[in-house]
Chains A and B, each alone.
Chain A
């Protein structure tokens, strides 16, 4: 019935060519969408599969229960010697040291910069500074790495020279070429664009009428910023912090270059340390044989790192969502 009716009214029919085009588009976008899941699934499969293999050789109790990480060198492995010690805590400590240190540097500076850009900077200054910040985000990680090694490291070593003030602060120690401090400083700079950019967006999204209400009651600019603007933008600011920290945890190249290769169970920032990412960079880049616990430990460490950043990203999403809700309710 319907078919027949359509046949009589030609102009109501979709042209066959258009219908095929629609079908082709549908298939194209479906494939693109599916491929994301395929790639993700494959990565997870490789990560989890090799990690399981690792835990067959090394007990999970040792992995999460020991504070000694000393993997065998290539020669030792090929001669069939002991694979080493696989307590992951020194790597986690190294990662946390760099992350927390970078956060201590990056969060306040990033937030202060965001407040300046959003609230205080004249539009001409902002239109100049914002692209500069985005440029900072565009500098390759490896460039930051050798910047840390050739610029920051000598300064850190000078400042912690025997007898200097910082020498005593850090427990009568001098930094060597490699130190967690190098990585902390450089990662602290690397997270600035994320924190500044997202916090600034959150602050600028605070409705103008809230600022006016505060000014109208005789509040100064700073009182308004402190009491109304920042609290209203808080969930967005927190989200930027979490994303910045996630970036710091996952940062590999600069950290691997600046922090050293010594997996040490320490929280002293001028010690040479190794982060989780640093370990992966070191051993995947070398000639480690592609079997045995040293090789599979790369995946176990990778999986641990993945779970840590995943948790942070989920946390950030919750904050971003809440922030949108608050914003939606306000405007």
Chain B
């Protein structure tokens, strides 16, 4: 975990983790205009237990229809932060937070927000592909069936739409009724993306979505992400520097539960302001 940068990272030699500048995809300008902000995390503290604080004073802005990467060594709190965005941490007993997270102006932790309803708008893709032990079709239809009364025809259309969005339709259109667990790992992960897209979320959270995949499958997911950001705001946790460089527009570096530095990906990788960031992206610790 600490020194490898993931299976997706074929191009980078060990020890020289700083990705080649050419690999950085984004041309995101440095300052972020207030009207571009989709997610605004304000002074967030998070505790797993009374005396187990996991996040300290997080202030972060994620631009709309862009990809924000959260990077940092294992246990730095990047997954915890991601899970604050759809209040998934609340499923664990004893967790507590302070501060605010605004999604398009609404405080996610406000009293009027129901976490169940929130998760319809903030989709999530997990580290390990986790399709339900149901058919391909039923996996994609799952969220739709929960929230909407659709006719069979409408449902068919939405399932096809989501699978096409996830670049999976051509591969599975003839076996929609087969068990989803029979698909390859990469296909399963794209199915999970299709499942999340089907309910048309505003935000898509991705928790190391490629860490269990081979380079080809990883490439497909990354291509997909770049296309999907036209419609959704994406926040991705990744332990791969080069993945962050390839896909993200902005990068946030976390260390020991604190946000060390955040900014346009190009700036973070080429001219980090903090020594810690410099050390991390050049592979001196991890």
Residues in A100-131 with C-beta less than 8 Å from chain B: 122-123
Distance from A224 Cβ to chain B, minimum over Cβ atoms (Å): 10
B147 sits at the interface (CB 8 A): yes
Distance from B212 Cβ to chain A, minimum over Cβ atoms (Å): 11
Query: Interface-forming stretch among A191-199, A226-234, A240-248, A262-270?
Result: A226-234
Binary CB contact string for chain A from 210 to 222 against chain B (1 if under 8 A, 0 otherwise):
1111111111100
B96 sits at the interface (CB 8 A): no
Contacts of A123 in B (CB 8 A): 93
Contact between chains at B133 and A330 (CB < 8 Å): yes
- Given known A-B contacts A223-B146, A228-B132, A326-B133, A215 and B93 have beta carbons under 8 A apart: no
- With most chain B CB atoms within 10 A of its CB, the pick from A122, A212, A213, A223 is A213
Instruction: Classify chain B's interface size.
Output: 20 to 34
B126 sits at the interface (CB 8 A): yes
Contact between chains at B132 and A220 (CB < 8 Å): no
Distance from A325 Cβ to chain B, minimum over Cβ atoms (Å): 11
Q: What is the CA–CA distance of A57 and B130 in the complex, to the nearest angstrom? A: 63
Q: What is the CA–CA distance of A288 and B126 in the complex, to the nearest angstrom? A: 69
Contacts of B131 in A (CB 8 A): 213
Report which of A122, A209, A216, A326 forms a contact with B119, defined as CB distance below 8 A: A216
Contacts of B165 in A (CB 8 A): none
A329 sits at the interface (CB 8 A): yes
Q: What is the CA–CA distance of A209 and B93 in the complex, to the nearest angstrom? A: 17
- Given known A-B contacts A219-B116, A228-B132, A209 and B143 have beta carbons under 8 A apart: no
Chain B, residue nearest A207 (CB): B130
Contact between chains at A217 and B126 (CB < 8 Å): no
Chain A, residue nearest B119 (CB): A218
Chain A, residue nearest B134 (CB): A231
- Given known A-B contacts A209-B130, A212-B126, A217 and B181 have beta carbons under 8 A apart: no
Contact between chains at A216 and B93 (CB < 8 Å): no
Q: What is the CA–CA distance of A132 and B123 in the complex, to the nearest angstrom? A: 41
Contact between chains at A217 and B88 (CB < 8 Å): no
Chain B, residue nearest A209 (CB): B130
- Given known A-B contacts A217-B119, A228-B132, A212 and B181 have beta carbons under 8 A apart: no
Contact between chains at B133 and A213 (CB < 8 Å): no
Binary CB contact string for chain B from 196 to 222 against chain A (1 if under 8 A, 0 otherwise):
100100000000000000000000000
Q: What is the CA–CA distance of A232 and B180 in the complex, to the nearest angstrom? A: 13
Binary CB contact string for chain B from 68 to 109 against chain A (1 if under 8 A, 0 otherwise):
000000000000000000101001010000000000000000
Contacts of A218 in B (CB 8 A): 116-120, 143, 146-147, 199
Contacts of A210 in B (CB 8 A): 130, 132-133
B40 sits at the interface (CB 8 A): no
Chain A, residue nearest B128 (CB): A209
Q: What is the CA–CA distance of A227 and B144 in the complex, to the nearest angstrom? A: 13
Q: What is the CA–CA distance of A215 and B89 in the complex, to the nearest angstrom? A: 11
Contacts of B118 in A (CB 8 A): 218
Distance from B40 Cβ to chain A, minimum over Cβ atoms (Å): 22
Contact between chains at B146 and A219 (CB < 8 Å): yes
Contacts of A219 in B (CB 8 A): 116, 142-143, 146
Report which of B88, B146, B199 forms a contact with A212, defined as CB distance below 8 A: B88
Report which of A122, A220, A223 forms a contact with B93, defined as CB distance below 8 A: A122
Binary CB contact string for chain B from 138 to 150 against chain A (1 if under 8 A, 0 otherwise):
0000110011000
Contact between chains at B119 and A215 (CB < 8 Å): yes
Contact between chains at A213 and B192 (CB < 8 Å): yes
Report which of B91, B117, B192 forms a contact with A215, defined as CB distance below 8 A: B91
Q: What is the CA–CA distance of A209 and B120 in the complex, to the nearest angstrom? A: 17
Contacts of B195 in A (CB 8 A): 213, 217
Contacts of B147 in A (CB 8 A): 218
Distance from B101 Cβ to chain A, minimum over Cβ atoms (Å): 17
Chain A, residue nearest B179 (CB): A329
Contacts of A228 in B (CB 8 A): 132
Contacts of A217 in B (CB 8 A): 119-120, 123, 142-143, 146, 195-196, 199
Q: What is the CA–CA distance of A209 and B124 in the complex, to the nearest angstrom? A: 12
Binary CB contact string for chain A from 18 to 62 against chain B (1 if under 8 A, 0 otherwise):
000000000000000000000000000000000000000000000
Contact between chains at A209 and B142 (CB < 8 Å): no
14 contacts between A and B (CB under 8 A): A209-B126, A210-B130, A210-B133, A213-B126, A213-B132, A215-B91, A217-B119, A217-B199, A218-B116, A218-B118, A227-B142, A231-B133, A329-B181, A330-B181
| Extra 11 A-B pairs, beta carbons < 8 Å, given A122-B93, A214-B142 | A123-B93, A213-B126, A213-B131, A216-B119, A216-B126, A216-B196, A217-B119, A218-B199, A219-B143, A223-B146, A231-B133
